[in-house]
Amino acid sequence: MHKQLVVILGFVAMVPATQVNSCKKTTPGQGPTPLSFVTPPGFPPPQYNFAGNPLTKQGFELGRKLFYDGILSKDGNFPCASCHQQFAAFCTYDHDFSHGYKDQFSTRNAPGLFNLAWQKEFMWDGGINNLEVQALAPLTAHNEMAEDIGHVIEKLKADTVYRTLFKAAFGEDDINSQKMLRALAQFMVMLVSADSKYDRVKQGRAVFTPTEESGYTIFRAKCAGCHAEPFFTDFSYRNTGLPLHPQLKDYGRMKITADSADSLKFKVPSLRNVALSFPYMHDGRFYTFDQVLQHYTTRLVKSPGLDPLLTNMITLSAADKVNIKAFLKTLTDSAFVKDKRFAQP
């Protein structure tokens, strides 16, 4: 009898303490550790709104774990990293399309993930307007991760490790989609690729070979109209004379804007790490540099929507092509693809 009373009194005594703790958001000095974002030399200020999602070590690490965890997919087999492989600058190496749930394929070539902090719109058609909501598309696509947002949150809530990590990153017990998406965004926004040989040359830390140097000169004259430095894309949408794929019937940007002027327009991809990101184009139809150069010099299909810069195709001599290919290889960022911070935890 006495024992029971003591137990009850104990509970009552604990009540005020419990209340105080459960209401506290963060304990001073024990919050997440701020992480700084470094803008590389020559890069403009980033587009991503860091004020709305302050970078922290814990948030970034949580994002990294989520990125590599199959828990985000319906059957557990398809983490983000299954299509976005670090050794390929986070595209799918050597695949036109990527593999998804139940042996299905994606319908577009997975783009490399880097320098996303400077990107305003995402996907080949630019349909997604904020990095934070980008992950929802592959997560819910029936042929990719095939999951349901609510179900993912339930799975994360049921996982004690994740409960601890979310609390460490965001200071609250609750797990919701906003925190999951912000953690993923923290990881992805940190994927900065700006340490290629090209970058080192620009900073005076390396020199091009004569072939690379000539390639760079031709590149600036003939390619940089769309593949503008320092990102090697101007982030615009263009019709580059690729005929409509007869089975996929992918009209690109027009799907988003419903404007026939945007028919067959796709985002200009960055050429950073381009030696790792084959096959090329939005549907991976070309496997080699040579095929791509051949397209722009002799094969492209002229239609009313063709980009004005390509009206007369691009004229390149055999030597020009050799030089351009040498230059493109200087855009490979070997440090980025081996950076331990971005590897599977």
Q: Is 178 in the site for other proteins (CB under 8 A)?
A: yes
Token output for 47: 């587009």
Of these, 174, 236, 287, 317, which contacts other proteins (CB under 8 A)?
174
Q: Contact at 8 Å (CB) between 78 and 84?
A: no
User: How far out from the chain centre does Cα 155 lie?
Assistant: 24
Q: Determine the interface stretch with other proteins among 8-16, 239-247, 269-277, 283-291 (rule: CB under 8 A).
A: 8-16
- CA dihedral for 135, 140, 141, 142, sign (positive or negative): positive
Of these, 77, 177, 217, 294, which contacts other proteins (CB under 8 A)?
177
Q: Determine the interface stretch with other proteins among 66-74, 233-241, 255-263, 301-309 (rule: CB under 8 A).
A: 255-263
CA dist., res. 122 & res. 188, Å (int): 12
Q: Is 37 in the site for other proteins (CB under 8 A)?
A: no
Which H or E run contains 198?
Answer: helix 197-202
Nearer Cβ to other proteins, position 94 or 174?
174
Token output for 143: 């042929």
Nearer Cβ to other proteins, position 50 or 289?
50
237 bridge partner residues: 267
The count of residues interacting with other proteins (CB under 8 A) is: 41
Q: Is 258 in the site for other proteins (CB under 8 A)?
A: yes
CA dist., res. 296 & res. 310, Å (int): 8
CA dist., res. 339 & res. 86, Å (int): 9
Minimum CB separation of residue 176 from other proteins in Å reads 6
Nearer Cβ to other proteins, position 253 or 295?
253
Compose the 59-98 pattern: x for residues touching other proteins by CB under 8 A, - for all others.
Answer: ----------------------------------------
Closest CA to 223 of 140, 95, 331, 86: 331
Token output for 108: 């577009």
Q: Residue 44 class from Cβ within 10 Å (0-12 exposed, 13-18 middle, 19+ buried)?
A: exposed
Q: Contact at 8 Å (CB) between 14 and 23?
A: no
Which residues are within 8 A (CB) of 17 and not within 5 positions of it... i.e. 6 or more apart? Answer: none
Query: Please, how many CA atoms are within 13 Å of residue 125, restricted to the half-sphere of its CB?
Result: 18
99 bridge partner residues: 105
Q: Is 23 in the site for other proteins (CB under 8 A)?
A: yes
Residues 137-166 that bind other proteins (CB under 8 A): 137, 139-141, 149-150, 153
Q: Is 260 in the site for other proteins (CB under 8 A)?
A: no
Of these, 34, 42, 52, 210, which contacts other proteins (CB under 8 A)?
52
252 bridge partner residues: 265
Minimum CB separation of residue 98 from other proteins in Å reads 16
Q: Is 51 in the site for other proteins (CB under 8 A)?
A: no
Residues 179-208 that bind other proteins (CB under 8 A): 181-182, 185
Residues in contact with other proteins by CB under 8 A are 1, 4-5, 8, 11-12, 15, 18-19, 22-23, 49, 52-53, 123, 127-133, 136-137, 139-141, 149-150, 153, 172, 174, 176-178, 181-182, 185, 255-256, 258
